[in-house]
Amino acid sequence: MRRFRRLIVALSIPAGALAQPTTPAADSRVTEALTLARIWLEAERAYAKIPGVSAAVVSGQQVLWSGGFGFADVARETPATSSTIYSICSISKLFTSIATMQLRDAGKLRLDDPVSKHLPWFTIKQAYPQREPITVEGILTHASGLPRESDWPYWTGPEFPFPTHEQIVAKINAQETLYPAEQYFQYSNLGLSLAGEIVAAESGMPYADYVKKNILQPLGLASTTPEMPADERGKRLATGYGKLGRNPARSPLAFFQARGIAPAAGYASTPDDLARFAMWQFRNLSANGREVLAANTLREMHRPHFVDPNGTTMYGLGFSTWRSGEKGFVGHGGSCPGYQTYLLLRPEESIATVTMTNAVDANARNLAQRMYDIVAPAVLAARKDTASKPKPRDTTLAAYTGTYEGTFGGEVAVFQWEGALALLSLPNDDPIRAIAKLRKTGEHTFRRVRPDGELGETIRFELAPNGRAAAYWIFSNRLSRSVSAPQAP
């Protein structure tokens, strides 16, 4: 067993440790970082041929930026925006887990309760009958030993036939556990669907009605629904698209509804709403509040409760937990037919990023993590009154900024960074590490600054009659400004 009930680990959030910081949105460091984040995100979308990407960046109780690139629907040329609705698939599990913990706090259930105590029809075959029963905590941490799915082919296209509640119940006694409870991590949509069934059973009301009344409405998440909104088809709901195959074009996938799997994978939302969801968590934690959920319960959910024996997978109560570099994060991703989305939170810093796409093979997690990597250092620096002040913006550098042709394909973004000029090849898996800083050495002439501070090759910009750079020269090669790529805002 790898359960941690009281151990405070690196990802834990100490009570009272969070304040609600204010980030000066006009701070040049933040402005530069948001500009780079937008340039990078749009290029990632374009080169991966993702139809549409929408995103948001949150600092405390501020949305520093939200917006979109590309199309929510390609045929209609409907722009993707921060109010575009996407399937958020497994991010649904966060709302189901919060509902479960609300009922725990109300005394309706305990985490160590067997699932069968609340669902008499839960008669799955036990491959290891001598081991512990499957508990509420086990299904929230994906340590229950349950198989990943209900015994229905709902990930099979083109119809994606998700089962109803009645169909899940009818098949459950024919399924068998995969592992002993509390021994291994096994992600399970079946498990979180059962959590939704427990919410309905113990609240005495339909699952969707409960979460609307007790979570979505109190938090003002007016565009978040426990099921895909059929009435938004052709309107705000983004069309989902399949993978890129041998034919380099994506095809739209069929509209689906998750039905009985909705508590695990059915929700739809927008970047604006998930930004509000993140701000609620930061607000509740910093105030030690009880808005929707007690702050200590939310801390409990963020804390790892199960660690797989190999030590590489940690899970909270419904929340995924992970490390990137020296920092810990919580959140969740979603991947459903036609969509990939991600919600990333760094509660210690009250910083969150949201990325939503309408392509099934888009790497939304990497998009969210890299957005954080780009923006967070600038946000943290801007919050510190004692930090060194940012260098003043050099207005003469605007003539050079934009996107240019790459030497061997791709593009190069030229943008202002730390009060000077910098380059970044696009697309790029790790944009912060790939930034090349420049130092001005003459009229329209710069040199690359090596990591050791020494100067490298020369870059000379060629200006057009309108006063903006039309190209730049490097190693005797002329690279023209790209007319097809959006220019940096």
pLDDT at 324 over 60: yes
Q: Which two tokens stand for residue 70?
A: 């590309």
Q: pLDDT band for 21, please (50, 70, 90 cuts).
A: confident
**What is the DSSP code (8-state) at residue 439?**
E
pLDDT of residue 12: 38
Q: 407 and 266, same structural domain? A: no
Q: pLDDT band for 484, please (50, 70, 90 cuts).
A: low
In tens, the pLDDT along 180-189 reads 999 999 999 9
* Helix %, strand %, coil % of the chain (to 5): 30, 25, 45
Q: 402 and 259, same structural domain? A: no
In a domain? residue 21: yes
pLDDT of residue 309: 87
In a domain? residue 485: no
Q: 418 and 289, same structural domain? A: no
The CATH number that applies at residue 315 is 3.40.710.10
Cis ω before 427 (30° cut-off from 0)? yes
pLDDT of residue 391: 63
Q: 215 and 195, same structural domain? A: yes
Helix (H, G, I), strand (E, B) or coil at 197: helix
Where a domain ends, among 386, 411, 433?
Answer: 386
**Residues 487/43, Cβ–Cβ less than 8 Å:** no
Kindly list the distances between the CA atom of residue 38 and the CA atoms of 45, 256, 382, 426, in Å, as whole numbers in the listed order.
11, 31, 19, 12
| Sign of CA pseudo-dihedral 316, 320, 326, 327 | negative
pLDDT at 485 over 70: no
- The length of the chain, given as a count of residues: 489
What does the pLDDT average to over 224-249?
94
Concatenating the DSSP letter of every residue in 120-188 gives TT---B-S-TTSPPPBHHHHHTT-S---SS-SS-TT-TTT--PPPHHHHHHHHTT-B-SS-TTTS----
Where a domain ends, among 386, 415, 440?
Answer: 386
The helices-and-strands tally (H runs, E runs) of the chain is: 12, 19
In a domain? residue 488: no
Q: pLDDT band for 409, please (50, 70, 90 cuts).
A: confident
Report the 10 Å Cβ neighbour count for 110.
12
In tens, the pLDDT along 173-231 reads 999 999 999 999 999 999 999 999 999 999 999 999 999 999 999 999 999 999 999 99
Q: Which residue is listed with tokens 């440790």?
A: 17
Nearest to 18 by CA among 281, 375, 220, 353: 281
Q: 419 and 377, same structural domain? A: no
Q: 142 and 24, same structural domain? A: yes
Q: 302 and 417, same structural domain? A: no
Q: List, in sequence order, every beta strand (DSSP E) within 22-82.
A: 52-59, 62-73, 78-79
Count up the domains in the chain and report the number: 2
In tens, the pLDDT along 354-380 reads 999 999 999 999 999 999 999 999 999
pLDDT of residue 450: 96
> Which domain, by its residues, includes 162?
1-386
Q: 272 and 166, same structural domain? A: yes
In a domain? residue 489: no
Q: 469 and 342, same structural domain? A: no
Cis ω before 263 (30° cut-off from 0)? no
pLDDT at 2 over 80: no
Q: pLDDT band for 19, please (50, 70, 90 cuts).
A: low
Whole-number Å distance between alpha carbons of 277 and 202:
25
pLDDT of residue 8: 30
Where a domain ends, among 347, 366, 386?
Answer: 386
Average pLDDT, the chain: 92
The CATH number that applies at residue 467 is 2.40.128
pLDDT at 16 over 50: no
In tens, the pLDDT along 85-135 reads 999 999 999 999 999 999 999 999 999 999 999 999 999 999 999 999 999
Q: 435 and 355, same structural domain? A: no
pLDDT of residue 104: 98
In a domain? residue 486: no
Q: 171 and 205, same structural domain? A: yes
What does the pLDDT average to over 34-60?
97
In tens, the pLDDT along 424-447 reads 999 999 999 999 999 999 999 999
Q: Which two tokens stand for residue 171?
A: 């098949």
Q: List, in sequence order, every beta strand (DSSP E) within 337-419.
A: 339-346, 351-357, 402-405, 411-417
Q: 402 and 255, same structural domain? A: no
pLDDT at 6 over 60: no
pLDDT of residue 313: 87
